[in-house]
Amino acid sequence: MNDHHGAKVLVVDDEDDVCALMCRNLQTAGYLCTMAFSGEEALKKLEEESFDLVVADIMMAGMSGLDLLHIVKSLFPDVAVLMVTAVDDLNTGMNAVALGAYGYILKPFALNELLINVAAALERRRAALECSGEDEAASMAVQQDSPPGRKIIIPAREVVDAVKSGMSDATLIDTFRLTPDSLYTLFEKLVDTGKLTSDEVVARSALSPNTVAIDLAGLKLPEPEPEKPVIKAREAAQNVHAGMSDAQLMKRFNISAKGLQSLLRKLVAAGLITEEELEARRQQSGQLFLVDD
């Protein structure tokens, strides 16, 4: 399991006690934590030193967490952002994710939930940075006439028609031979090129649970929302070890592609599957290329 202890985390919340509590818990877990009590103060600290992750409250006086997210994604693209909100509103969290957040936590939250989400966001950041480096290296290799790797060519119109027809995430993954990661990369490309709207992508996530709670052998986790499935962690890990495909896992547990991503990240954070196993699953999909027909 990848160890992110020592990662630099900036906690942003205009409630001093909440900000201090989060920072204290993260420091106890081995993270290097800095506090900011407004979006404006957070930006100053980001300009003064580098951070791996920003954990920001959405509802703040002055600059909101969403405003801060926009600026961080624009000026500090290598910094992961995790949102925190006291508003139990799926749309609020999903909008944050659609805007580039690596996830969101609902207040009040348990310490274990905070640590799992921070570890998951940092791991996703690590994977994104590695992928970016691999893409750059692949581009250089092409320029040097090195043999190209396996490519997945997907006609834009074909996949847009499939999405608009209501095809499920699991069927899309089966049909186009994708992983959950590459499916959402595909959605992002379709939104960027104007072939799908961000609302259409967010609506798909709302059709089925996009996060999961897992039973860690009696470890008490926050009570899940009624629409979110509870999945036995050891059962899920056994299915992963048995070689069950992404689509099979999604059908088995009745979750979306984002739900599967959440499940796999939490299994890694719980130590029930390894980073190597997760990376091997990602390697099953080649580099994604979207083309117009």
Residue 212: both structure tokens together: 């999961």
Question: What is the token pair recorded at 191?
Answer: 């939104």
Residue 133: what pLDDT? 53
CA 248 to CA 190: how far, in whole Å? 25
Cβ atoms of 87 and 66 within 8 Å: the answer is no
CB contact at 8 A, 169 and 250:
yes
Distance CA 88, CA 19 (A): 19
Query: Which amino acid would we find at residue 88?
Result: D
How far apart, in whole angstroms, are the C-alpha atoms of residue 183 and residue 165? Answer: 16
pLDDT value at position 11? 97
Report the alpha-carbon distance of residue 290 to residue 133 in Å, rounded: 20
Rounded distance, CA 213 to CA 223, Å?
A: 8
Domains assigned to the chain: 8-124 (3.40.50.2300), 150-293 (no CATH)
Q: How many CB atoms are closer than 10 A to CB 207?
A: 11
pTM for the full predicted model: 0.47
Residues 187, 210: contact at Cβ < 8 Å? no
Name the nearest CA neighbour of 178 among 246, 263, 100, 91: 246
Three state DSSP letters for the chain: CCCCCCCEEEEECCCHHHHHHHHHHHHHCCCEEEEECCHHHHHHHHHHCCCCEEEEECCCCCCCHHHHHHHHHHHCCCCEEEEEECCCCHHHHHHHHHCCCCCEEECCCCHHHHHHHHHHHHHHHHHHHHHHHHHHHHHHHHHCCCCCCCEEEEEHHHHHHHHHCCCCHHHHHHHHCCCHHHHHHHHHHHHHCCCCCHHHHHHHHHHCCCCCEEEECCECCCCCCCCCCEEEHHHHHHHHHCCCCHHHHHHHHCCCHHHHHHHHHHHHHCCCCCHHHHHHHHHCCCEEEEECC
The pLDDT of residue 246 = 81
Q: What is the mean pLDDT of each run of 10 residues along the chain (293 residues)?
A: 74 93 92 94 92 93 89 89 79 79 84 87 83 48 40 69 77 75 77 80 57 45 53 83 81 81 82 82 58 51
Which of 124, 156, 149 is CA-nearest to residue 135? 149
Q: How far from chain centre, in Å, is Cα 29?
A: 21
pLDDT of residue 229: 61
Nearest-5° Cα angle at 289, 194 to 183: 70
Query: Could you tell me the two tokens for 33?
Result: 């934590």
pLDDT of residue 135: 46
Give the number of residues written for the chain: 293
